[in-house]
Structure 1
């Protein structure tokens, strides 16, 4: 309804505007006036008079263009009038000859031309309006002859060269002067209608002929300039001045006559109002004369005041007329507004009447439709609710499937770990080496690696979907990196006689890449290349530098290629080409593209006689965020690397060999997978005392036995490995124990959560047994360094020290309790354990683990340190000190003191 009303209203307003425009503009007579210039008062008066006349004629649309005394500008103005197809053109020419052609062009276009003031060459114009300039020249000559009483010498100052008024006035003037022998023109100055063109030449003539009687100037301005020049030589009273124009303005001819500057001035009427009247007659095709002459008169002292009064009255009348015209325009505007308002109100009345009828009909119709819409709305609401419920169910189902899919992929890693670890053991077994069985074992190892890569691809796909990947780029020599990856495929290339080569001119070229992610990209591209390249084929990797600060890495093969119409779908997940009859997950290339995009690079595919994948990466690190860059010194092996984690690496344990100690270190394995527990126990029992927990009683067992090191899984039945690690690290009894986490979760969040739980090492499945052994040995070695620190600084531990964390707090508290009770002979180890809120056995094991000695020896060391302080103070004798510190006898005290400090108490006291 509202839209209907709006459309009607807009249509009505548009029609009103259109009708108004037609009324205002449709019957207008377009008159174009090309004015030569407006630098002088005469032409300004002309413009005013033609505008006043136009204001009296509402049917006239007058346009005035000022050529600014430039002939080319005037030609362009007239050309514009012709192009706009005006009805009549009025021209006041600057010069005659240059404007002839354009005036003739207008006549040919059917537009009549009225020439005013000045003529053009020839007679090819519609009409001329202006004073008779030849007659004006003659009038000036006759006036001088009739009023001359002196020498009869005359100077003539003409207008601009090429101007028809200047030529004609001079012609008429000379005709009369030549007939009278008493008069002589002693000099002619060719001015340009302006004052400055007169002064210099007139001064020269007056210096040569000071007895000049008359100066005739073609306009008032040049006459005034001549009078000013004569005045500089004292001749203004002697010479009489006659001019043309007779303007009633400041410094106009009439004012100059009244002020005795000029002897007289010849009225040259502007004819502005007559010009417009004549132009309208031309438009209406009324009969007119070719030449229309304006009347003129000589203004001198006899009639100057009368003519001035008449012109003033004319100006006043013109002012009144202009005021009345403005009032009329206001009234017309008000009338037009009221007329439109009446029309609009009438239209609205019609609309209201129509809408009243329509509303009665609509009320009945709407009530019916309302009921229908209510029923439809209820149905839509119910269906929308059902859709939302179905969407929630689908979302939960999808999330459950993804979680199952991810969890299952994680579960695959534990059996793969067992398979690969046992296979590694078999490969290293001397009995198998050199037999035919070794090839089968290596084949198992190879396919286990392949299965692991597929599982990792599935997990990477889920992480890509959840946007959990973070770039960890480091500065890498791309040639060495590429060559390192190629070693994994050279055996396959050799077996199938495939020409597998790397082309790179600059082997020291460096790029910032995430080695782990780019390694996966390489493996995907090379695996596809070997899969689809036939035997005796060719696979080439090319690395080239470009001038746009990029590096292109090309993987080209001579395989079956990909159909051209399918190239755009290659990087879509789960896509398989129509010519691909091999097993494929369809996510490898999708992951490769995502990993390249993480590097802010691009990957594209060309397929002509095989396939060519081109990776383009930016040089330098300016395109990376600071958080995406890591330094070489950082450990890049937090997550397993498919290239290095499964090589036959045997670490050197010569410096960290803890199994050679007399007492084996105790190891607690917290794992609910029986096969993995059996494997670890079999591989580590020769070096460590193994204790087992499935996780349900892990904390209780750790508290009871206080092991030297703990290996813990994440996914356990009762508590996960993070919770167990956090509780053990918070408890004073077990906070010192190093913990290694074994898990299939390798994402950044899982690693960070593990470190926040206080774990000391994070290894992902499948892990290398060699790396696990190395990690255990390294942690125990670090624990030995910590023990050395505490042993040598046991009495200088400061609360603000950052070394040792909970161990530092424990030792500080324990030392404070011992020092407070150092002179209490009844203070025992049981008392110390009670004050520390732990059992005697736990206290013994913790102190032994941290500082390497039993608690009794530690208490004695504290007492002996106190004894040394007392001996220095020299306030007590040796026996008093021995008994005050709880030693059974002075002799036992002396023996213990000498064992610790190397000298007897007596010698120590005398030396201090």
Structure 2
């Protein structure tokens, strides 16, 4: 029974060890944490064993650093060590006090500095610490007293007690509990006590002096095995080693440890007093992770004599072997992971070499298989480890997804705010700068300000609604409402948008007189959110419908919102109503709380909302008839006013706004500008401001590249967030195309950070403006870029002999013109050289050649041929 219990105890220790090791590996953080250990001393075997156990445990945690300071059993040294650790602001302090009282103020000082303190082995004065871990010293004294009593028989026996360092809590507790039991036993008597300092030399003289006077001693109780071994040396010297039984404390599994001394018959028995090294690190990790830990943690002590010494040694050897095996396997896994990482990096670098890529890919898969195989081998050691690892990983993933969703929410919301702010500020700036044109532009400018102010208000109300829902502060105010009339009111607000985009928008019902109890204000927000999403993700010429179905034989009705848009991926359907969740195929700005609020509002009505996405998306509301499902305080018989902040104002008929009919509204034949932007208000604003001086062409982002290649404008203004390709991709494509590489590009974006700016420069943009921007700055940027283009053309045409391409034009254009020059040079004596032959040599058409050269230099290929002939004539 004793063996079974002991085996279970050590198996639990190993299991916890491996579990914490895996838990540490699941932590993705690269931040190094420091555990500072103020040790009493590190020279004795028990202390060395404690530190060794700690180092083995810390090896499982790559982000943990253990710093051990040696107090050399001197209280002043240990105080200095504690002050050093507090000054360094380590993450947690472990302390084994030399003496209890002097150390107490410094433990309290660490706590005030915000550093948790774990007291091990020896206690301080009072309970002002984070946690305590150590063996039960009182139980040690009890075990020794009971053991002596069990083997002493009925004859009177004399005992010498050799105590530990005076003032240390273990010495005090081991002595008090021992003497309490001995004093109750009639035939046992402690005849002498010796004060030691835990080392064998400290007791030899005192013991020898006493034994010379009193040789009739039966037992010696030493507070640790080192002093017990010193006592045996004295007994042997006096030839008393066969007459006195010695009982020690510590029971280390070392060459000179207590277990070996029992096996060698030097000690009668020893009490296994665990070092607690493994447990101290585990407890410290729990404290660092913010887990709740017990204030006082007691380690089990066991008495070892000749009956169980072999068993204990065997158990300890097995534990040590298991620990070494785990460390070795972990090192192998780390080596495999390092190999796998290097192979993955190599794979990316040599991706162009197809054969090598496949080879490395197979090898990477093989390495990954080996890693998984090694991990499975570790999992087999203890199934509990796998379960706990999955639970910890799940919690970590949930926290990571939650944090990422919140960051995405506030980022998206910030982006949502910036565009309307840009339009409002720009319109106000325009009204301020051009007071004389108020009558002509006032309606358009004020409409933009009005619409975008409403948009900002709607976003703000959405935030407030979310806060109310989270705090459960919404109170339903349901009134009897004709559902068709209510739906028509919102339907009419979206009809003009449907007409503009040629969307088949319908509303139908099987019961025109259907009335139900709803909170009109909340239901209006549900309708608006579902319809806004439908229009946002449904392409032109699509279908959107609202269908109200009265189930006359049942007590509920359905309202179905269906569209033919891009749909929702099946993997996202289960989470689409969660706060901050955005579908994986959504490339448009979105806050991620609209559907969450809609679901909450419907559930306030005791109804439900379901989603299906096969061809497009279909949301179905289930609402109950009558008012029996509502509480009396949720019903009102006064008409609730609808929050008008959700209603948008139509400026004008925007049908086919991006078509060719709207391009070039100004009849001037000056410079041309292509604006690639999907925000209609911003498009209208920029067009109205720029078409005074330029020929303005528009694209909503879907056909931006095609229009640029078709028009070859003098300048392009491009947004970053676009429905098809983002602005960076568009700019990179245009800058790498020979036909458009010369065109200056201005990037408009809400992304105001160094990374985005560098990404824009890498894609080839010439100017980078962040929203909200000043139209004056945009206007000047346009003028400067066009002026620079004209300046080059002028310099070229007026300085034919001195032109230096390498200093005046970009690499692509330079290579293009130098290639033309090389063709002309090679065919200097060829009378058949023509525009067509030059275009053929360049592998482009004559029209493309003329467009490109005219865009760069403002002249045709025939004019350029003439310039080259004149230059050759001048050189002669």
Return the TM-score normalized by structure 1. Answer: 0.36
Higher relative contact order (CA 8 A, sep 6+): 2
- When Rg is computed on C-alpha atoms for both structures, the one with the higher figure is 1
Return the TM-score normalized by structure 2. Answer: 0.37
